[in-house]
Chain A
Amino acid sequence: TPRHATPGIPSRSLPARKPGNVLEEARARLHVSSVPDSLPCREQEFQDIYSFVESKIVGGNGGCMYISGVPGTGKTATVHEVIRCLQHASEQDELPSFRFIEINGMKMTDPHQAYVQILQKLTNQKATADHAAALLEKRFSNPAPQKETTVLLVDELDLLWTKKQNVMYNLFDWPTRRYARLVVLAIANTMDLPERIMINRVASRLGLTRMSFQPYSFKQLQQIITSRLNQVKAFEEDAVQLVSRKVAALSGDARRCLDICRRATEICEHSSSRQPGSGLVGMAHVMEALDEMFSSSYISAIRCASTQEQLFLRAVIAEFRRLGLEEATFQQVFVQHRALCRMEGLQPISVSEGLAVCQRLGTSRILLLEPSRLDLLLRVRLNVSQDDVLYALKED
């Protein structure tokens, strides 16, 4: 990189258009990126993290905390909110000042880059990974007058795993140093990550301060949506409830919930342009959006396949039934296919064409195939359940 390049994207010639009507306003608010000032339904977790970090800052010592939870449960957002509040408090001189740095395991190319990024964010210095590690080591183990506390957020911790685990070891070892004054907040998805992938000395340094974020329940999801909408009247109550119940039953992922709501506003807008209705997002729109996002695309793919492809799938099932297995060679299936062709009154197709049909189903992954070099001997398996295939083929 040239020395003083400043990263940036060119700016637009025209500013972006502001939302014009209620639905557009609602859509802008429902976008995942517009994080609200205070997160609903995460008060308890917020309080726990806040008091942990606050006590460390006030006490002037270091510590680690491990935060886990499935994606989309508000881990990173909660931590950011805690930091925002603490920064606010320190600006008001209620707290000693502190520094906040953030690294993300997915945003670096190699676990050792963590050192480089931490050093750069701390001192604005560029160095190679080894050099940066040495510099950080020195910084954290030597006493320095008037050092402020550093809060380090490590997102996607499991990506920092290396064979010797030295990156993780260092991250959790620094806070135990006497002069370091480092607070590490580590975030990952699985609850048992310390037991599963860390060797003992790393896990023991991580300590027992742990917190897990439970998936949102439907009430919480509902509350999240209503708080986001914040008096913008765009949704019917029942519609919001349906979305939250569906999402809570599947994953409890708030992102999914917001995305579905956003899609529902689009569907509503589209349909109200055809037939002016109430302008509210109702049950029908939400149902359509849910269908779109949750339904399996296998069935529609099978329904839109050509006649011979559908026939081939039927031949596969017929052969599986005959064999009592879930696997057959192309040759065996093709015998069935030919018989089916005869029954349907279609012209029989040649082996090359049959293979092409089979390959086409293989590339869209309705079938799982071995490499095509094996020719007649390649083994065919279904990637969908037989019931789904039969259901898709029946309705016409």
Chain B
Amino acid sequence: MSKRKVKDQQLTVGQCVCQVGLCHIRIRVHRILRERFCFQKLPSAPVGLESQHKHLLELLKRTAIHGESNSVLIVGPRGAGKTMLLKSVLNELLDVKEVKSNILLVQLNGLLQTDDRIALKEITRQLNLENVVGDKVFGSFAENLAFLLEALKKGDRSSSRPVLFTLDEFDLFTHHKNQTLLYNLFDISQSAQTPVAVVGLTCRVDVLELLEKRVKSRFSHRQIQALSPMDFPQYVELVQQQLSLPQEFPDGRFAHEWNNSVKALCEDKSVEDVLRKHFNLSKDFRSLHMLLFLALSCVTPSNPTIKPSLLLEASRLCTMDCKANMLHGLSILELCLIIAMKHLNDHYQDEPFNFEMVYNEFKKFLQRKSHSVHSFEKPVVIKAFEHLQQLELIRPVDGSASRTQKEYQLMKLLLDHTQVMEALQRYPQCPTDVKQWATSAFG
């Protein structure tokens, strides 16, 4: 704080104004981009899912305008833009004047409505039916269901308002008892009652196998797959588009400069390598947003543009191996125990081990080779062993947990060979004989 003050005093008045203005601009840049990355702001046009967008829009339009009942499932991996697709379709749908006052929306989520009782109350509340008083729904579960079904039955195709049900995390609804809610929703969509559209969103490809036979028969088997056959150049283009400032940004000159720097960034060779690595790992938008957000948060007044180095740093943060990091924090004794376990694994082909075996292995090392590691008392070694268990670097083999004594409990190592070796290389001031012991074939 004080440093900046000193700096400010040295600047002339003009520069000062300029500085303050730039600060404002930068705050605005942060705000715009953060909305995109963290709050999942809707893009103006769907990215990569145009045909699916059209299909869904037409389907929902027909429900809203013609009163045709429909059911559809949107299936795609996590972060593939299913909710984005649905939201942008709804946005566009509600823009149509004919539709806006003619449709009722009910939004359910499998994580919130964990059983049919809660889901039913939520539906009744959102439809604002007559048994709702204030914000409370009265009556028992059975009465609620009967009331809702009665209400929906009374409606007909041409005169009552269509109801649009969106079921987020659809696969969780299939775990409800008897799948009552799904049966009833699909049954309404297949009979001449109030027109409804049931839209389910799920990431499970095998979702239809979860449905009961009679529920499955009533579902229309329409699936929209939120999969985009995106290739790498499109991915880079997407990155550039995501980082660019919009046309209507108030300071045109700044926006132009920023967009140019983003363009230069995307053509950079090292950036391309980073992006290719991420692209190879996964195509989901969320992990990309994470990466860009980490890079963006390092953009400060002293560091005004987004540089390749920032992106490299962000990528390093994203792809860090967490187990290797944990190994760095261990003491030498704990590290020695892990090496002993690794040797046991090598020797006995991944059979489980107990503390005594590890301790023996460790003692052999102390007797024969070690000069730098003290011989610790057994309780100390046990403590270290327990610490490793608490960090879940080792875990007991199932079933032997309660009955046996601690020292004789069978354990397995949850570390890969390479993770151990890599951690040893990077361990600060690792004693040489420990390193040698680790690399030698059989301890």
A contact set with B: CB distance below 8 Å: 1-2, 5-17, 19, 24, 27-28, 31-35, 70-72, 106-110, 113, 116-117, 156, 159, 189, 253, 255-256, 259, 262-263, 266, 292-293, 297-298, 300-301, 303-309, 331, 334, 338, 346-347, 349-353, 356-357, 360, 363-366, 374-377, 383
Contacts and interface: CB of A to CB of B under 8 A. Distances in A.
A19 B414 CA distance: 64
A9 B151 contact: yes
B112 interface: no
Contacts of A364: 77-78, 203-205
The 7 closest A-B pairs by CB, nearest first: A71-B217, A7-B151, A16-B67, A350-B321, A304-B227, A1-B139, A5-B130
B283 A306 contact: yes
A304 B138 contact: no
A210 to B, nearest CB: 19
Interface stretch (B177-185, B291-299, B376-384, B433-441): B177-185
A224 B280 CA distance: 50
B228 interface: yes
B158 A360 contact: no
Given A1-B143, A31-B68, A376-B415, A357 B217 contact: no
Contacts of B419: 351
Nearest to A20: B66
A352 B322 contact: yes
A301 B65 contact: no
A346 B323 CA distance: 22
B223 interface: yes
Contacts of B145: 107-109
Contact of B281 (A19, A293, A308): A308
Contacts of B191: 32-33
B238 interface: no
A11 B214 contact: no
Nearest to B321: A350
26 contacts: A1-B143, A2-B131, A6-B130, A7-B148, A9-B152, A12-B102, A12-B159, A12-B160, A13-B101, A16-B195, A17-B66, A28-B66, A33-B157, A33-B191, A33-B192, A72-B217, A109-B142, A255-B217, A298-B205, A308-B280, A308-B281, A349-B281, A352-B319, A353-B321, A374-B395, A376-B414
Interface string B137-161: 0110111111111111011011111
A27 B230 CA distance: 34
Contact of B159 (A5, A15, A262, A303): A15
Interface in B272-300: 277, 279-284
A360 B78 contact: yes
B280 A346 contact: yes
B14 to A, nearest CB: 49
B332 interface: no
Contact of B282 (A5, A70, A308): A308
A190 to B, nearest CB: 10
Given A9-B194, A293-B222, 7 more contacts: A12-B160, A16-B159, A108-B146, A301-B225, A352-B319, A352-B321, A377-B395
A11 B160 contact: yes
A311 to B, nearest CB: 9
Contacts of A24: 66
B213 A31 contact: no
Contacts of A71: 213-214, 216-218
Contacts of B160: 9-12
A182 to B, nearest CB: 22
A72 B214 CA distance: 8
Given A31-B68, A255-B218, A351 B282 contact: no
A159 B178 contact: yes
Interface string B215-233: 0111011110101110000
Given A32-B190, A308-B282, A156 B218 contact: no
Nearest to B68: A31
Interface string B103-128: 01000000000001100000000010
Contacts of A13: 101-102
Interface residues on B, range: 35 or more
Given A7-B154, A12-B160, A109-B141, A17 B65 contact: yes
A11 B101 CA distance: 10
B206 interface: yes
Contacts of A300: 225, 227
B416 interface: yes
B416 A351 contact: yes
Contact of A256 (B138, B149, B217, B324): B217
B137 to A, nearest CB: 9
B217 A365 contact: no
Contacts of B214: 71, 106, 156, 189
A34 to B, nearest CB: 7
B142 A116 contact: yes
A383 B206 CA distance: 9
B138 A1 contact: yes
Contacts of B256: none
Q: For A1, A107, A253, A376, which residue has the most chain B Cβ atoms within 10 angstroms?
A: A1
Interface string B66-86: 111100000101100000000
A275 to B, nearest CB: 17
B163 interface: yes
B286 to A, nearest CB: 11
Nearest to A259: B220
A357 B284 CA distance: 12
Contacts of B11: none
B127 A351 contact: no
Contacts of A305: 77, 283
Q: Which of B67, B204, B206, B280 has the most CB of A within 10 A?
A: B280
B351 to A, nearest CB: 13
Nearest to A383: B206
B205 A297 contact: yes
Given A113-B142, A375-B392, A28 B222 contact: no
Contacts of B77: 301, 305, 360, 363-364
Contacts of A2: 130-131, 133, 138
Contacts of B154: 7-9
A83 B100 CA distance: 40
A352 B323 contact: yes
Contacts of A293: 221-223
Nearest to B224: A292
Nearest to B51: A270
B129 interface: yes
Contact of B127 (A6, A9, A259, A349): A9
B130 A7 contact: yes
Contact of B163 (A9, A35, A262, A298): A9
Contacts of B36: none
Interface string B245-283: 000000000000000000000000000000001011111
Contacts of B183: 106-107
A309 B203 CA distance: 16
Given A351-B321, A376-B414, A301 B130 contact: no
A5 B225 contact: no
Contacts of B225: 297, 300-301
A252 B267 CA distance: 57
A180 B74 CA distance: 50
A70 B221 CA distance: 17
B356 interface: no
B320 interface: yes
Contacts of B193: 33
